[in-house]
Structure 1
Amino acid sequence: MTDTTAQPREDSRYEAVSSRDARFDGEFFFAVATTGIYCRPSCPAVTPKRANVRFYPSAAAAQGAGFRACRRCRPDTAPGSADWNVRADLVGRAMRLIGDGVVDREGVAGLAARLGYSARQVHRQLTQELGAGPVALARAQRAHTARVLLQTTALPVTELAFASGFASVRQFNDTIRTVYARTPSALRAEAAASRSGPRPTAGAPTGVPLRLAHRGPYAAREIFDFLERRAVPGVEEMTGAPGARRYRRTLRLPYGTGITEVREPAPGGRDRWLDCRLHLTDLRDLATAVQRTRRLFDLDADPYAVADRLGTDPRLGPLVAARPGLRSPGAADGDELAVRAVLGQQVTVAAAVRLTGALVAAYGKPLTTPDGTLTHLFPDPGTLAGAALDELGMPESRRRALRALATALADGTVRLDPGVDREDTERGLLALPGTGPWTAGYIRMRALGDPDVFLPGDAGARHGLAALGVPPGAAEDWRPWRSYALHHLWNHAAKDN
């Protein structure tokens, strides 16, 4: 039977390519049969003839079909598909885990075990929908990591190959030639020829500089305000004046530790990226650190889809128009966010920051070398599970709730990695003593990146609804983007107070 929907869908994609529509970057890729190159939809090159164009759901699928990445639009740097944040099915969960580096660290068997399916089922589902299996998808990510390291550090190729996640130098060389149609040395020379300023050193003491792409407008001021109000001493810091701030925080990573540093773009700027610098003790953590920073800043969101849904609401529409590209911040570490959510129960944001700072000072792991005001890693659940927590000035019931949560995280009863089933995780959280609907919902929204969470019992949400003259039940009309609606309400309530 012929798929009657395929041709219209491809025709609409070709229209997006013809208009160089950046809204679709990362949502699909197109390749040109006559040149052997694949691109993102917004590629500035001359639009190819329709007969020569092929469409692919992922960069890995285009690579698997024998196409190499375009040198002009660099499709491997496109924002990730927003679908992986929205979807709660097997494919969405698998893509979030692959982005976090699980296949490189644990193999396909480890990925399948985390998802609760057989490796064969996972491969079949991903191939059916994305045109590539988990190995090919992870390989495409490794290739991008390798290109970044080649062009931003002077690491010897042997070290760089293993830092990128490749099993051998030969595999690294073959992959780079296949994906970029150049040797690793040619890629490095190309970057050096276009670079101004000092050359990178082998040890990369200044970190790895990156541009983290996003699609559409980005309300940077609001997300930097959000993070600044909640910055925990020792773990996070925000420096500089609004419009030129620098957010920095420590990271606990699979192979070592790191610091991510993100600069606030200038107001009114039209760049479609955030400048970032990663300082890592082990460069094998690069891809994971990038993904965790992207989740924290919600860089894979689709602001167009959010605005199309929320902007048509007569009550919420003016707020959406006033703050185009408002994001719903995620978390760099799910376990940390959950602990912070329990500490923040029934207290102000400022009080929660003070409590969390005391927790870090008492139980956090000191950095080998402090960096500015960054001195600690956030305490791990195993440490907190058996801690007395007497240093915290809060009720014993809250300390019991914190220890119960930490125990559940430490023994795996509750998991907050990117590939978990959100419904199951929320049920597990609600089963813990002292964890109610607000805490479980907040964790689901931020630690699990769920775009459709509303917190009807939240004081800021109630104030925002009241300021708009809207009943709580109106939130049902804002699915599947209620997390973004909640942030609009929080900003509106703060403006009115």
Structure 2
Amino acid sequence: MDDESRYQAVHSRDARFDGEFFLAVKTTGIYCRPSCPAVTPKRRNARFYPSAAAAQGAGFRACRRCRPDAAPGSAEWNVRADLVGRAVRLIGDGVVDREGVAGLAHRLGYSSRQVHRQLTQELGAGPIALARAQRAHTARVLLRTTDMPVTGIAFAAGFASVRQFNDTMREIYAATPSGLRVRKGPRRSGAGIPLRLAHRGPYAAREIFGFLQRRAVPGVEEVLGAPGSRLYRRTLRLPYGTGVAEVREPRPAGGRQGAWLDCRLHLTDLRDLATAVQRVRRLFDLDADPYAVAERLGADPLLRPLVAARPGLRSPGAADGDELAVRAVLGRQVTVAAAVRLGADLVAAYGKPLPAPDGGLTHLFPDPGTLADAALDGLGMPDTRKRALRATATALADGAVRLDPGADRDQAAEALLELPGIGPWTAGYVRMRALGDPDVFLPGDAGVRHGLAALGAEPGAAEAWRPWRSYALHHLWQAAADPAPGPRATAPDRKDT
């Protein structure tokens, strides 16, 4: 896009571009998301920035009406596998706050200077400014949803001092922390931190919650309620502590659905808030661009009926990459139900118990270090799979395989394939979900084969679906699980070759 097309998007209040760029108004000193309902400024007064941090760095403060800092993230940074995309994902996971710019650069394998230069070139802000913008947003959430003292919020959000916190909040929001805490109504009831996690475009909630429900491992995950009003809950292992995330399936009102998912986070340490939010967003694929996906896949005559039947279908990621890799090994050459039973047995035997059960949630998923030395007796697995599980856990524990948000996707897949018992299905499934790769296809998967056969297509047809083959894969799987809108297929959707 150029600035003229961006201005047209603002003029039409096009929510498709929320988070993709930001509008700043020279005469008011305010920056907004493109869909802001405020009066469109004159073209000569409009400025455009690729990130909220860039707008803040140019001296603009956030609009109180459209809350641009709460817009969904740009889909570009999740799609891209280059230095900038990896850096943005790591900053979102809180690496700069925990390890500094030097730690970020070390994880990426570049110098701090190179990382700063490339981020500034593409996002208009360096890693410190991007992390600062995220800290400010975290602090605003805590101010509006908790009764914590302001001093406690400053350090929970990652600020080094109360003075730095006060100065930043005044600069970005033109208000003191105490002023941001003022609310017009009573606080929402219930424990935990209530959030609205924004997404762009349609969201196929029924299919996404169904996908997660079929794969929910007892003890670590549970899904309560009936379709249309389900509550997904899971435990989280986080850098400073543990947490429980609850995400509500949206119920359309009057034929329309809000552009967010209601979420509540229960954290033992509030410094984990930003990290927990990003991990839930990745799990539910909330930063995707469904318009770009539908434009590409819907143009194919084979997929067009499936895309039309399920607008906004996402490719769910993972809350924990290491956990997903272990679960992928458990799911080799077995049905989803069998993989869930194995996962539950593994959790019961080796998971870390919560201090107290929280409903059906009792454990954290076993960490790789524990599984690397585990006997794995009594789990009902063949010895070959036990060896594959131990080898995978050992590689994750010693860093030979990295599945954090900034991992190099090609290197991770190659390292996985070098492990005993890991084939193309497992490596591809991990790459798709743990690393958020939007362009993975699994031709050896049984459900995919049956879906392609029902469409009258050969595996080579998937080449036309780049760069969104992961989404095409989910369309085939959903058609197999619920054949009414699409092709009928009954085979399990997990098979390694």
Q: Which moved more, 1:8-17 or 1:210-219?
A: 8-17
What code does the residue aligned with 2:476 have? L
Conserved 8 A contact 2:250-2:257 = no
Q: 2:167, 2:158 → 1: CA distance? A: 14
Q: Deviations over 1:55-74 (max 9, x none)?
A: 00000000000000001000
Instruction: Give the corresponding residue for 1:378.
Output: 365
Which residue does 2:324 correspond to in 1? 337
**Which amino acid in 2 is paired with 1:397?**
T
SS in 2 for 1:23: helix
Question: Which of the numbers 355, 367, 375 marks the counterpart of 1:368?
Answer: 355
TM-score (norm 1): 0.96
Shift of 1:493: 1.9
What residue is the counterpart of 2:288 in the other structure?
301
Contact 2:217–2:340 (CA<8 Å) still a contact in 1? yes
Within-5 A mapping of 1:254-403: 254-267=239-252, 268-403=255-390
Determine whether 1:253 maps to 2:246: no
Instruction: Note if contact 2:371-2:393 (Cα within 8 Å) is conserved in structure 1.
Output: yes
Within the candidate set 119, 127, 151, 1:126 is matched to 119
2:279 is matched by which residue type in structure 1?
R
User: Superposition pairs for residues 47-86 of structure 1, below 5 Å?
Assistant: 47-86=40-79
Which of the residues 444, 451, 456 maps onto 2:443? 456
What per-residue deviation string (whole Å, max 9, x for no partner) do you get for residues 301-339 of structure 1? 000000010000001011001100000000000000000
Deviation at 1:492, TM superposition (A): 1.3
Partner letter of residue 423 of structure 1? D
The equivalent residue for 1:96 is 89
Distance 1:76 1:365 in 2: 36
Q: Deviations over 1:9-67 (max 9, x none)?
A: 10000000000000000000010000000000000000000000000000000000000
Runs of 5+ unmatched residues, structure 2: 491-497
1:391, distance to aligned residue in structure 2 (A): 2.1
Q: 1:212 corresponds to which letter in structure 2?
A: L
Equivalent of residue 434 in structure 1, options 421, 426, 429 = 421
5 Å-filtered alignment, 1:29-40, equals 29-40=22-33
* CA offsets 1:404-423 (integer angstroms, 9 cap, x no match): 00000000000000101100
Q: Which residue of 2 aligns with 1:480?
A: 467
CA contact (8 A) 1:362 1:391 kept: no
Q: Distance in 1 between matches of 2:174 and 2:48?
A: 20
Q: Deviations over 1:106-159 (max 9, x none)?
A: 000000000000000000000011110000000000000000000000100111
Aligned-pair RMSD on alpha carbons? Answer: 0.9
Specify the alignment match of 1:236 in structure 2.
221
Counterpart of 2:495?
none
- The gaps in structure 1 that reach 5 residues or longer are 1-7
What is the identity, as a one-letter code, of the residue corresponding to 1:143?
A: A
> Matched residues in 2 for 1:491 and 1:339: separation?
23
Contact 2:54 2:123 in 1 (8 A): yes
Paired residue for 2:493?
none
Q: CA deviation at 1:282?
A: 0.1
Question: Does the alignment pair 1:175 with 2:168?
Answer: yes
Cα distance in 1, alignment partners of residues 273 and 9 from structure 2 = 32
- The residue identity in structure 2 corresponding to 1:141 is Q
Q: Which one-letter code corresponds to 1:373 in the other structure? A: G
d(CA) in 2 for partners of 1:463, 1:419: 34
Secondary structure of the 2:2 match is helix
State the SS of the aligned residue for 1:418.
Answer: coil
Equivalent pair of 1:451/1:480 in contact (CA under 8 Å) = yes
Tell me the equivalent position of 1:187: 180
Contact preservation (8 Å) 1:465, 1:471: yes
TM-score by length of 2: 0.96
Q: Distance in 2 between matches of 1:56 and 1:380?
A: 41
2:103 paired with 1:117: no
Bigger shift: residues 289-298 or 261-270: 261-270
Match of 1:5 in 2: none
Distance in 1 (alpha carbons) for counterparts of 2:243 and 2:198: 21
1:489 aligns with 2:476: yes
Contact 1:460 1:493 in 2 (8 A): yes
Residues 208, 278 of structure 1: 8 Å contact kept: yes
Aligned-pair distance for 1:491?
A: 1.1
| Cα distance per residue 1:145-200 (max 9 Å; x no partner) | 000000000100111100001111111111100000000000001xx22x2456x7
Alignment-derived partner of residue 401 in structure 2: 414
Alignment partner of 1:136: what SS? helix
Distance 2:256 2:142 in 1: 27
Return the letter of the residue paired with 1:493. Answer: A
2:210 aligns with: 225
Q: How does 1:206-221 map to 2 (within 5 A)?
A: 206-221=191-206
> SS at 2:457's partner residue?
coil
Q: Which runs of 4+ in 1 moved over 4 A?
A: none
State the alpha-carbon separation in 2 of the partners of residues 270 and 478 from structure 1: 28
Distance 2:228 2:108 in 1: 41
SS at match of 2:23: strand
Instruction: Indicate whether 1:424 and 2:411 are aligned.
Output: yes
Show CA shifts across 1:459-482 (max 9, x none): 010011011010010000000000
> Alignment partner of 1:366: what SS?
strand
Counterpart CA distance in 2 for 1:356 and 1:391 is: 13
Offset of residue 370 of structure 1? 1.0
- Further displaced range: 265-274 or 280-289: 265-274
Residue 251 of structure 1 aligns to a residue in which SS? Answer: strand
In the TM superposition, what whole-angstrom CA distance separates every residue of 1:325-358 from its partner, at most 9, and x where no partner exists? 0000000000000000000000000000000000
Q: Answer yes or no: is the 8 Å Cα contact 1:359–1:391 preserved in 2.
A: no
C-alpha separation in 2, matches of 1:470 and 1:196: 56
Aligned-pair identity (%): 82
Encode CA deviations 1:245-279: one digit per residue, 9 max, x unaligned.
Answer: 00000000000000000000014432000000000
